[in-house]
Structure 1
Amino acid sequence: MSSTGRNGEELQGVTLLGHRGARYPDRYAPEVLESFENKHQNRDYFVKFNCPEFTSLCPMTGQPDFATIYISYMPDVRMVESKSLKLYLFSFRNHGDFHEDCMNVIMNDLIALMAPKYIEVWGKFTPRGGISIDPYCNWGRPGTKYERMAEHRLLNHDLYPEKIDNR
C-alpha cells in the first residue's frame, strides 16, 4: 500500500469528516458510525481513543452520568472514523442505560462496524452517591491469538489500579 495519502475510493463511505453541518443526534444513533480502510493490514497495532466528555442517563433516575471512555482496538480491514465516533458517543447523552450496558453496547457496535482483531472499552465514571463505577469489557476474534489475548487482558486488566485523585 502507498503511504502518499488516501484516494477517494479508500475514503468511500466517510461523509462526516470535514462536514461543518454535521448534526448531533438527540437519541442513541449507531447508524452514524463510519469506517474506512486500514492501510496497514499487514501488522498488528493499537488505535486508542480517549473520550473525556461522555454522558449518558441513569435509566432509573434520569440523572446524567459522566465518564471518560477509553476505546482501544487492533484494526483488521476497517477502522472507525473519529468524527463519526464522536457523534455516536454524543448520541448516548439522552440514552438511559446502566454504565456496564453502555460500555458493552459501544463495544458491540464497534465490532459490528469494523470486525477488529481485538477491542476493549473501559468507562471511568465520576462518582454518584459516593461510588464510582468503571466497567471494562473486551473481545478478541474467536479462534485466534486475539481471543487468547482478550482472555489474558480481562483476567489481568486491573492488577495495577491507578491512583484516583481527581474524582
Structure 2
Amino acid sequence: MMPALDTSNQTSNRIMITSEVVDYISRSVLCWLATVDETGQPNVSPKEIFAAFDAEHIVIANIASPKSERNIEINSRVCISFVDIFVQKGFKAIGVARNVKRSDADFSRWSAPLEAMAGPKFPVRSVFVVQVISVEPIVAPSYRLYAAETTEKSQVASALQTYGVNKSGDV
C-alpha cells in the first residue's frame, strides 16, 4: 500500500507526479534508476523500495547501491522508470537527485515512507531524493503498432501466459 502523498511542502505549484503516476508506482515491483559516472558511462540499477513522496519528488531507498550513490554525487541528473509488467505500461521520470544520508537533518522526513516499507529486514543507508523535472509514459510497442487489437486486457492475458502466472483465485 502506497503512503498518501505529502503535498504540504511543495516548492512550486507544478504537479509532476499525478495520481496516475502514483498508481503505476504502486503497481511496480521494481523501479530502475539510471545514473552516469564521471566518464559518462551509464548505469541502470533496480531498486526495490521506492515511493512517490509528493507531487514533485520520488524517494528511493539506498539499501546496497554504492555505484548509484557515487554517480549521484558526481552527476545529479537521473532517470527512473517503473512499469506494470502485466499491462506493459508505466512511466519514466527525469529529475535531479540528491543523496540524503542518515546524518543529514532531513533524513527522517525523506526516509519515513521507505523505512515503513522496508521494515527491519532492509536497513535504509540513505535516501535518493529525486526532484522530478519531467514525466513521460512508457508503453509497449503493441499499443502503437496494433492499436486496434491491443488492449490492457489482451496485454495482461499475454503476459500471464508468457510468465506462466495464474491470476489470484485461479487454480
Same fold (TM over 0.5): no
Per residue, is there more strand in 1 or in 2?
2
Bin of the TM-score, shorter chain as denominator length: under 0.3
Q: Structure 1 length as normaliser, TM-score?
A: 0.22
Q: Structure 2 length as normaliser, TM-score?
A: 0.21
